Structure 1
Amino acid sequence: MSPYEVLPAELRDAKAIAELHAASLRAAFQGIVPEEQLDALAPATREAKWRQAIEFAEPQVHVAVQGDTVVGFVGFDRSRDPKTKPADGEIWSLYVHPDHWGKGVALQLWEAAEEGLEDEGCTTVSAWVPLRNDRALRFFEHQAGFKRDMKTARTTAWGAVRIEEVRAKRSLG
């Protein structure tokens, strides 16, 4: 039995989600994004965003908790990409605190999102994954069953740094 429980996020979780989001980004992008930009990832600026997402369920947000501690979260909903069908879902974000990497938390979060997307009538799901984030690519491909769609590669600016992303996609159901 897993020591983690996945639940719909509540407004009181917004601060913990923001802190976890910043900590996970710092760890995942160490050596890819300059230190000063990683240091500027202030949880306070993210808390309002997550509070709004939880309040309006856009995206839907679930948290993984161990006891009373939020150790991961997933945001999912319909795809934001242009020209997608109403049955196309998207993992908007999936982050786990670095202390809990490799312990099955991401898979539990993915399974909750998969169920939520199926309940919404989605038949496919995609996620944008940075090409230099080997851990995220391995998770989506090897554990969650996504396939890279290299025709969809795009570049996202993160300050002065360019991050190459690729859409990973899979069927639901």
Structure 2
Amino acid sequence: MYIRHIRPEDDRMSISEIYERSWKHAYKDILPDSYLNAIPRGHWASVIDSPGWNTLILFERGKIVGTSSFCKSRFPQFEGCGEIISLYLLPEYMGKGYGKELLKFVIAELSAQGFQEIFLYVLEENNRARVLYEHCGFLKAEDVIEEKIGDKNIREIRYVLKSG
């Protein structure tokens, strides 16, 4: 396993494929199939290089199998906090410790940038991810985001880690 920041020469379509396959697997019983099946190839390729974002890729035997993006908070009410925007793995690498290692790497990166509080949002029904975050020391906060994805009302719960 090897983790590093993305480089200009890294294939953004391969990184987007991790998002796509992960969403279709992890959210299968959470979001409508019609929505998940309609996610186009390369859907996330253009946002990977968003200004202010840091993106990591995780390799196993030379293949990109995971990715995570993070930044300073995009939410004004959490100014001064670090935010984990995403953390995704190819489905066949889930539940094998790769997510934990990637998460630890992201936490170390945000801590090195001086953030003493790190947060993320996770779908309320995504129990597998919630267990991972809780295992790594994140605590459930009181605030949520309510939105509609694919004609389904969903809630995203904020999790917080104090690193300072």
TM-score range, shorter chain: over 0.9
Q: Is the 8 A contact 2:57 2:68 kept in 1?
A: yes
**1:154 Cα deviation after fit:** 2.0
Counterpart of 2:26 in structure 1 is 28
Counterpart of 1:115 in structure 2 is 108
Calculate the TM-score normalised by the size of structure 1. Answer: 0.88
Unpaired segments ≥5 residues, structure 2: none
Higher helix share: 1
Q: What is the CA–CA distance in structure 1 between the aligned matches of 2:79 and 2:47, rounded to whole Å?
A: 26
- Correspondence 1:124 to 2:121: no
Counterpart of 1:65 in structure 2 is 59
| CA deviations over 1:109-137 (Å, ceiling 9, x no partner) | 11211121112110010010111001110
Counterpart of 2:17 in structure 1 is 19
- Correspondence 1:135 to 2:132: no
Where does structure 1 differ by over 3 angstroms across 4 or more consecutive aligned residues?
none
**1:159 Cα deviation after fit:** 2.6
Q: Is the 8 A contact 1:21 1:43 kept in 2?
A: no
User: What is the aligned length?
Assistant: 163
Unpaired segments ≥5 residues, structure 1: none
Amino acid at match of 2:124: L
**1:79 Cα deviation after fit:** 1.2
What is the RMSD of the two structures over their aligned residues, measured on CA atoms?
A: 1.3
Calculate the TM-score normalised by the size of structure 2. Answer: 0.93
Identity level (%): 25
Amino acid at match of 1:5: Y
Q: What is the CA–CA distance in structure 2 between the aligned matches of 1:29 and 1:117, rounded to whole Å?
A: 27
**92, 103, 108: which one pairs with 2:85?**
92
**3, 7, 18: which one pairs with 2:4?**
7
- Correspondence 1:38 to 2:29: no
Q: Is the 8 A contact 2:34 2:150 kept in 1?
A: no
**1:20 Cα deviation after fit:** 0.7
Q: What is the CA–CA distance in structure 1 between the aligned matches of 2:58 and 2:102, rounded to whole Å?
A: 7
Counterpart of 1:77 in structure 2 is 71
